[in-house]
Structure 1
Amino acid sequence: MHSRLILAGLIISYIVTPCRAQEAITSETLVNADSNDSAWLSYGKNYSETRFSPLTQINQKNIGQLKLLNKTLLPDWRGMEATPLLIDGVLYVTGPWSKVFAIDAVSGELLWSYDPQVSGQTAINGCCDVVNRGLAAWDDKLYLGSFDGRLIALNRQSGKVSWETNTVPEDRPYTITGAPRVINGAVLIGNGGAELGVRGYFSSYDASTGKLNWRFYTVPGNPDEGFENAALKDAAKTWTGEWWKVGGGGTVWDSMAYDPELDLLYVGTGNGSPWDRNHRSPEGGDNLYLSSILAVRPSNGELVWHYQTTPGDSWDFTASQHIILADIEIDGKQRSVLMQAPKNGYFYVLDRKTGELLKADPFTYVNWSTGIDLKTGRPVETEFARYENINAEIAPNYDGGHNWHPMAYDPNRELVFIPGRNTLSMYGRDLNWKYNSQGFGTGAGWNLAIGQQDNKADRKDAAAPVKRGFLKAWNPKKGQAVWTVEQDEFWNGGLLATAGGVVFQGTADGRLTAYNSETGELVFSTETGIGILAPPITYQINGVQYVTVAAGWGGGFGMKNLFTNKLRSNAVLTFALQNESNPSVNIVNEIVAKEFNRFTPADSQVVPDLSWQVSRPLFEAGERLFDSHCAVCHVVDDSRGGIAPNLLSSLMTAEEPLSAIILHGALQSRGMPSFVNKLDKSDAQALSHYLRSLQNKKKPGK
């Protein structure tokens, strides 16, 4: 037994290489995924997306013996949101820029990698980092949705491209960050881009050829051009004005689930574009199918039923969060249900055969509505909710009570585990809003982006809890929490539940943790040195149970916030029990820490220029430009910032270097795109003046 240090990405491994026999993934394989303990075949483990493993080797009694087996470093340091697939002893995981890596699950050896060569310039089209959530598998292939909108089929053995097709219009700012799904030889994929003014849709492609089978648009287009189907004709009745000119939104950027018995595909749709309904549908309306759950036939895309969680969305309350399917007893009757905790703060239980609303209960602090009417299925909105005449503190905010981070469902205990948060922000109408085809066009003033408050004493809404994260065990029958763990970190990772009675979660400050499923007691915590967003998986090879998680800090929140100064690299981490029957597990953290726990020093201090003279016109122009183009990734405050530099302490804000960066793409290779088609030299001057004024602690007087 010996260790190896390989700098193609650090690999510290103990060689036990499993057989490389190729299992052909079929419909039967995917339907029966839960019966295969030595594999993780699809994004949510199974078509029901439960993220529950029946394995019990790692359990409440022995989890203290869990140790790091290997750490495989990957080449980038940006957000890692992927759920690995595990097939034939090989982990398949995606990273930033849609790169794909095949890794031996036991030794950590990198077997092959694939880079789709996504241009750094495409980062300008993303709301929330250049992330990717994973792959789908069918036959001998893997399927990848690339950030720039391609659907790519790879040979699972070699990583070579079998085919690729572009799924989005090249002249619109679409992106793909979600994992594809495969049903009966068809690959399903959606996209993102609602913040930049696009029309949402999801599509089905032939898994063998890449040929388009069908496409379902989630919002209607221009009525004068006709409607693609009857469902969109009906939806158009819920819109007013000329919504098609500003995009509409409704992008399908994440959640899908499938019931093979009912042959129904369930899809969650996103927010409106722009956010404020008054700017896209000025005379009101529910704006179908925004923020909705759609049940469609996967063979042809026919809509069977829909349920809208947030009619007329004006808050970025997407319903694209994790969907789970289960069979539970509701009010004394066994029901086949669909469960979701979307951004708006309510936990929904629907009959998945009919779409009937069975339960809807708040799982976090909510003030935009007082409840959900179970007869109509509609929220009862508060008088200030739509911030029409006043700026209003709204909870949850655009980050949501629950975001993309996957939940988990334990069928033995009939509990859903929710990685959520309490949020509150000031929303205000942008009275000067105009459709911006070249950047963010939310239609809500960006005062909401800086309106989060941590000091409860300063809030108008004194009932609101302090902004923080939580992990909740939710009883969907009763519509209430069984236990809650309060967390200081705000943006923790997705979940994995096991029959061993533990719930695994990575944290923003770089730990892998586990909780007792019945009580919420913390039963395991280990430092990894890397902030974790993605959910873990577990599997068994040669009688040994492993836990693997893709670690890497970033994403929309991580671009501006940093919780750990430690290892600045992405990694795939695999853990197993250390005991007499499994002696190959060794603690490698100390070796890794010694060689690789380096972090970039804080930016040099900017020396204030006491002679600096502030120009009000330049300052105000620069402030507007920063809010509309830069604030999504960068901060200008006293925090350390995140993956993207804090521009309050950057030395690159003088007009000449700033122009080189934003107009000529000087840092494009590092993921900072050029804004040459959106900004000009005078804009660079105004931005420079604004940033340097803040650095010199000078603002124009009133």
Structure 2
Amino acid sequence: MAALLLASCTAPGPDTALPITPIAASGPAAVSTARMIAPDAPANIANWMSHGRNWGEDRFSPLTQINDGNVGELGLAWFDDLGTMRGVQATPLVVDGVLYNESIYNIVTAYNAATGEKLWTYDPQVGAEWARLACCGPSSRGIAAWDGKIYIGALDGRLIAVDAATGLEVWSVQTFDRAEAYSITGAPRVYDGKVVIGNGGADYGVRGFVAAYDAQTGERLWKFYTVPGNPADGPDGEASDSAMQIALPTWHGEWWRYGGGGTAWDAFAYDPELNLVYIGTGNGTPHMWHFRSQGQGDNLFLCSIVAVDADSGEYVWHYQMVPEEDWDYTCTQPMILADLQIGGRTRQVIMQAPKNGFFYVIDRASGELLSAQSYVSVNTWASHIDMATGRPVLQAGAHNTTTPHLMSPSWLAAHTWHPMAFSPLTGLVYFSAQEQGDVYARAEDGEFAYVHHRSNSGQQRRNQPELRARLMEQARAEEKGYLLAWNPVTQSEAWRVNYRVPGSGGVLATAGNLVIQGTIDKTLAIYAADTGRKLWEMDIDQAPVAGAITYMVGGVQYIAINAGWGGSPVYNLGSFQTSTAKLLVFRLGASGVTLPPPPPPSTLPRPPFLTAGEDMVARGRELYGENCARCHGPNAVGGMKDLRWMTAETRSQFADIVLRGTLAERGMIGFGGQLSEADANAIHAFLIARANEDYADASAGAHR
């Protein structure tokens, strides 16, 4: 795939004359083990070279030029309108004066980090259908850089290396079978020349795994499955074989028919001294433990942290946060490595605040649980963690039955994937927390049916409507969202900032005593890291969910963030209208750059939810191409009438129109002689799929 070479600045202003720092002699994106081991060295401190800045993923920057005394002088230096209404979740990278960013469908652009001048853009041409084949849309959480290359985990499963100087593709490998319901939305990481990538799809029914590839050649080095496969097939012949011997006895029934889940779609960290890669794993499939494992067994390694040898991928230790996973909980939330003074001695720890509402501090060498405490005020899942066993003590009625009950935390998460940060200066971890309950009940026996490429929860969502209504009223009354500063040593809250509803984004901490977060109020806000006092806020007409970064170019410090809300379900928002997603870059004293006005409200009818299976959609695509594309446009775009945007009335009459020619006087003849009722339904399913793929951007006039 060729790169597009571009030379124009997106939003020029009086500050565009700032010089770019000369590229290191070894070339662009010259990231190496030596540099990553010493990210705060003079030659490296200005950069943001990896997803969490360093391999410990603490998202803390030692830069102090922007600080609590002058942050009020912050202004918008430049921006790039990314031309989409979809969620943009990526953490940019900055290496030696060049900023690398990823938008939807894995489109990557390199910029002069000081001015915003575009240097190149690479589009891997991910098919639009992946917007619905992945559970949460076509967003990605970031890219990786290493030794002159930028690495992309494409939504469709390709791991792609492009030349950091030109944007030209160097190599590409397919990491999973596209016939399966996998996708990639997490950021790849490079650890000492090995590219580590996971995947998503647990909701849809896949068997989770993580793989490592040679950063120079793309050769696969190892593969680690996170849950066992069919025992009749024997060992996989992969790095995880010894771990699967531990996991297999904790599963029951025929879970492998549905994949099992456990996908590692976002959370990774690396300790180069211990040579361990830490993997945070996801939920089970189906969600309901009753159907997945006959209501028996812990189901390793669902919702766990698993440590593996970085060179071989072989199992070293694990800690499972959610045995008997029954609630669509994941432990794919960010993990942070730190050295903490606990009990009078320094402990090497890994920290995580997963969906289930508990904050965990674990010895990262041994996997020993050091402490765990709930960080939310309501926890109907577990009362506490038993430190003798490391297991949660479940609340009465926590497991799902056919009777609806309220769970909080729920699948909506006490803390979701939004990045968190740790400041070694304050000793505090900062993250977006929320309390959003939901009603759970499993389906009756015999009701669950697996559907490929659709969510397979095993839940019953319609029974006892009056009880459900009461429970949802309670959930909404208890709903909270806040920025939380947490002391991991004392396992206690230091301070919080309350928001009107959940949904605020990722967090960055700096040595300037700053905590930076995009908010659900469509602002970028900066708080004092020690007290939580608000220092600065700007209306940006977007609610960023991504984490911000900071860097220096030419002696000037910048703050950058992708502002594009999406992929974060929040109740009670009503009509939540935003502007198009943008990459925003700030510095002290910047002026003269203003954001454009928001787009007008959409006039397009919102399409219905897609309920048909992928086989039906694929059949509809074929029938549409044979019978409809000539008049209505290829891939259902344009033509005499764009069928993606049918009204509800037209949709209700679709079969009559197509088969019986009820609109023949307008030129739409009936196809009853060559299409059946089932054919018409398949075509309609395809059109609903296409409408859902394109609605977010088409409704605002934005385009990929």
Identify whether the pair has TM-score above 0.5, normalized to the shorter chain: yes
- The equivalences for 1:328-347 within 5 A come to 328-347=340-359
Q: Is the CA contact (8 Å cut-off) linking 2:162 and 2:171 kept in structure 1?
A: yes
Q: Which residue of 1 aligns with 2:117?
A: 109
Q: Is the CA contact (8 Å cut-off) linking 1:42 and 1:137 kept in structure 2?
A: yes
Q: Counterpart of 1:230 in 2: which secondary structure? A: helix
Q: Which residue of 2 aligns with 1:27?
A: 33
Alpha-carbon displacement from aligned partner over 1:220-273 (angstroms, at most 9, x marks no partner): 011111123121022010000011111100001001001111111111000001
Which of 76, 86, 98 is the equivalent residue of 1:90? 98
Q: Is the CA contact (8 Å cut-off) linking 1:425 and 1:453 kept in structure 2?
A: no
Q: Which residue of 2 aligns with 1:554?
A: 566
**Structure 2 CA distance for aligned equivalents of residues 451 and 127 of structure 1:** 30
- The equivalences for 1:615-634 within 5 A come to 625=611
Alpha-carbon displacement from aligned partner over 1:116-144 (angstroms, at most 9, x marks no partner): 10001122221111111111111000100
Question: Deviation at 1:627?
Answer: 12
Which of 173, 196, 200 is the equivalent residue of 1:165? 173
Q: Which residue of 1 aligns with 2:365?
A: 353
- The equivalences for 1:367-378 within 5 A come to 367-378=380-391
**Structure 1 CA distance for aligned equivalents of residues 364 and 565 of structure 2:** 35
Q: Which residue of 2 aligns with 1:383?
A: 396
Question: Deviation at 1:562?
Answer: 7.1
Q: CA RMSD in A?
A: 3.2
Q: Counterpart of 2:40 in 1: which secondary structure? A: helix
Quickly say closer, same or farther: Cα 1:291–1:451, change in 2 above 3 A.
farther
> Is 2:443 the counterpart of 1:423?
no
Quickly say closer, same or farther: Cα 1:33–1:446, change in 2 above 3 A.
farther
> Is 2:42 the counterpart of 1:41?
no
Question: Deviation at 1:480?
Answer: 0.9
Q: Which residue of 2 aligns with 1:692?
A: none
> Is 2:17 the counterpart of 1:12?
no
**Structure 2 CA distance for aligned equivalents of residues 325 and 387 of structure 1:** 34
Q: Is the CA contact (8 Å cut-off) linking 1:198 and 1:249 kept in structure 2?
A: yes
Q: Is the CA contact (8 Å cut-off) linking 2:58 and 2:423 kept in structure 1?
A: yes
Structure 1 alignment gaps of length 5 or more: 1-5, 579-584, 607-621, 631-649, 664-675, 690-702
**Structure 2 CA distance for aligned equivalents of residues 623 and 526 of structure 1:** 35
Which of 174, 186, 190 is the equivalent residue of 2:194? 186
Question: Deviation at 1:604?
Answer: 7.4
Question: Deviation at 1:155?
Answer: 0.2
- The more displaced of 8-17 and 251-260 is 8-17
Question: Deviation at 1:56?
Answer: 1.2
Q: Which residue of 2 aligns with 1:654?
A: 649
Q: Counterpart of 1:28 in 2: which secondary structure? A: helix
> Is 2:205 the counterpart of 1:197?
yes
Which of 57, 70, 73 is the equivalent residue of 2:65? 57
Question: Residue type matched to 1:586 in 2?
Answer: S
**Structure 2 CA distance for aligned equivalents of residues 250 and 180 of structure 1:** 18
Q: Which residue of 1 aligns with 2:478?
A: 466
Alpha-carbon displacement from aligned partner over 1:189-219 (angstroms, at most 9, x marks no partner): 0000011100000000011111111100000
**Structure 2 CA distance for aligned equivalents of residues 452 and 418 of structure 1:** 33
Q: Is the CA contact (8 Å cut-off) linking 1:427 and 1:447 kept in structure 2?
A: no
Question: Deviation at 1:556?
Answer: 4.6
Question: Residue type matched to 2:481 in 1?
Answer: G
Q: Is the CA contact (8 Å cut-off) linking 1:258 and 1:266 kept in structure 2?
A: yes
- The more displaced of 274-283 and 345-354 is 274-283
> Is 2:441 the counterpart of 1:439?
no
Q: Which residue of 1 aligns with 2:593?
A: 588
Structure 2 alignment gaps of length 5 or more: 1-5, 617-644, 659-674, 689-704
Provide the identity percentage: 40
Q: Which residue of 2 aligns with 1:698?
A: none
Quickly say closer, same or farther: Cα 1:688–1:564, change in 2 above 3 A.
closer
TM-score by length of 2: 0.83
Q: Which residue of 2 aligns with 1:673?
A: none
**Structure 2 CA distance for aligned equivalents of residues 57 and 279 of structure 1:** 55
**Structure 1 CA distance for aligned equivalents of residues 459 and 121 of structure 2:** 42
Q: Is the CA contact (8 Å cut-off) linking 2:181 and 2:452 kept in structure 1?
A: no
Q: Is the CA contact (8 Å cut-off) linking 1:127 and 1:556 kept in structure 2?
A: no
Q: Is the CA contact (8 Å cut-off) linking 2:550 and 2:558 kept in structure 1?
A: yes
Quickly say closer, same or farther: Cα 1:85–1:224, change in 2 above 3 A.
same
Quickly say closer, same or farther: Cα 1:398–1:629, change in 2 above 3 A.
farther
Quickly say closer, same or farther: Cα 1:565–1:184, change in 2 above 3 A.
same
**Structure 2 CA distance for aligned equivalents of residues 687 and 454 of structure 1:** 33
Alpha-carbon displacement from aligned partner over 1:318-357 (angstroms, at most 9, x marks no partner): 0010000000011222211110000000000001110000
Q: Counterpart of 2:411 in 1: which secondary structure? A: coil
Quickly say closer, same or farther: Cα 1:624–1:51, change in 2 above 3 A.
closer
**Structure 2 CA distance for aligned equivalents of residues 335 and 152 of structure 1:** 37
Q: Counterpart of 2:58 in 1: which secondary structure? A: coil
**Structure 1 CA distance for aligned equivalents of residues 129 and 407 of structure 2:** 34
**Structure 2 CA distance for aligned equivalents of residues 69 and 455 of structure 1:** 49
TM-score by length of 1: 0.83
Question: Residue type matched to 1:441 in 2?
Answer: N
Quickly say closer, same or farther: Cα 1:551–1:390, change in 2 above 3 A.
same
Question: Deviation at 1:171?
Answer: 1.1
Question: Deviation at 1:455?
Answer: 9.4
Q: Counterpart of 1:34 in 2: which secondary structure? A: coil
- The equivalences for 1:200-239 within 5 A come to 200-228=208-236, 229-239=241-251
